[in-house]
Structure 1
Amino acid sequence: MVFDILLAIILSIYVASTFYSLKFLYEYNRRKGVENETAIYYNRKFVHIFAGGITALFMPFFSSYWVPFLASIILTVVTYISHKKGSKLYWFQNKRDYNDVNFCIMWGFSIFLLWAFLGDEYKWIAIIPALFMSFGDGVTGLIRNMVFKKRSKHPIGNVFMAFVCIPLGFGFGSLCGIAIGGAIAGLIASIVELFEIGPIDDNIFITIFSSIFILIFIFLPIN
């Protein structure tokens, strides 16, 4: 438990540092003439990769899923309150949506539910949907932003997401004997990222659908 608390403190400092260091990137881009929403979108995807993705890689080192789960709940509350108080984290929050809040809660819930349901033996599998959402969707957004200079759902992003997610799924899936299943889950995540239905954004679709396919390949003899 002492190790868990120390690791949680270190990662919390790292995440907070990531959040606030991106403020300087936002201000730099704005000085360079980058439009406000474009600068925000760049930062949001860097949050995905560096705050969400890097920290997800450390989750299996915890002895229990409770500490990372509670940390994600705290981040969910922090980002939600920031929106309610007028986007205090304005350099990566868009006033028109709560996608960053969805990211925090789905990141935590996907790891928590898979780890709790499958057990410690599969804790490296439990982080796969969070990795898809963090690294895969992060790269997707950066590519689209560089090409179109705005937030879009162009399929070119999904192609690059597949390049990231399929190897991620294969590699981490191979740790528990579902390499092909992990790769297919990565492909599915890359496809469903295209969709958003009202407040149900791509973060929700990515984690739910990839989790379902991971469970299918674990419990059915089709790998």
Structure 2
Amino acid sequence: MDLSVYRIDTDLFVSDFLRALPLAVWVLFAVHGIAKWSYYWASRRWGHGVGLYFSRKVIHMAAGGIVALLVPFVFQEPWVPFILGLALAAYVYLPHRTGRLMEWFQDPDNISEVYYCLSWALAVLVAWPFSVWLAVFPLFLMSFGDGVTGIIRGIRQRRRVKSWDGTLGFMAVSIPVGAILFGAVGALTAIVAALVEKQGVIDDNIGVPLISLLILLAAHHLGAIAL
């Protein structure tokens, strides 16, 4: 573990900040454009509740998921993605405080999108001294695995429920990716993450990245996965 990566190099920081600007624009477009269109499309067919659920999952994939996949190729240090993750957490939390919700994806009784942003930022920061790829896969699970899960359940169940059809969708998307990245450990991590999402005791935006990151860090420590 190389803790020297936490030293702030001004040149790298500025360079990464400039690299991040197009991604920030993309995230805002995903939130205010793609997700809003998804909400109206889904709500006309299945009602407000499903539309809300649908658009939240679209944001998971289009904003958090795509950016997570790009992190190893765009950023040279961990602080810019971490700070931007915190900034987005504040951006989606403030409407809850002011009562001016972005109604196409925000639920007044649910601030899971805030947990999502915080988990995203912390996963990148924690994994960076080992390998940022140890964060990318947990974020893939939280974004695409959980995203597909929610869309399946929204369309099939017409409500927010922890049904097995969504869990199987989570596994179908995530197990092959885990196997490609980390072999049997990655496949096992995907299965565990899907079951963590299904149990519903811990918010999946916290539980899925936390448990999957811990499994990968332990496997790395034991020499079970090569980076």
TM-score (norm 1): 0.89
CA contact (8 A) 2:134 2:213 kept: no
Aligned counterparts of 1:187 and 1:33: Cα–Cα separation in 2: 32
Q: Which runs of 5+ in 2 are unaligned?
A: 1-11
2 CA distance for matches of 1:39 and 1:45?
10
Rounded to whole Å, the distance in 2 between the matches of 1:42 and 1:108 is 23
What is the rounded CA distance, in whole Å, between the counterparts of 1:42 and 1:214 in structure 2?
A: 29
Secondary structure of the structure 1 residue equivalent to 2:161: coil
Confirm whether residue 44 of structure 1 aligns to residue 53 of structure 2. Answer: no
Q: CA deviation at 1:87?
A: 4.6
2:47 maps to 1:35? yes
From 120, 131, 141, give the equivalent of 2:140: 131
Q: What's the counterpart of residue 171 of structure 1?
A: 180
Specify the SS of the correspondent of 1:127.
helix
| C-alpha contact 2:38 2:58 (8 A) present in aligned 1 | no
Q: For 2:177 and 2:109, how far apart are their aligned partners in 1? A: 31
Give 1:214's match in structure 2, choosing from 205, 212, 216. Answer: 216
Match among 162, 172, 190 for residue 153 of structure 1 = 162
Identity across matched positions, percent: 33
> 1:66 is matched with which residue: 46, 58, 79?
79
Aligned residues: 211
The answer for the alignment partner of 2:17 in structure 1 is 5
Any residues of structure 2 matched to 1:87-102 within 5 Å, and which? Answer: 87-102=100-115
Equivalence for 1:176: none
Contact 2:82 2:121 in 1 (8 A): yes
Structure 1: gaps (5+ residues): 174-178
1:182 to 174, 180, 186: 186
Output the amino acid matched with 2:186: G
> 2:31 maps to which residue?
19
Tell me how far 1:52 sits from its aligned partner.
0.9
CA separation in 2, counterparts of 1:29 and 1:69? 32
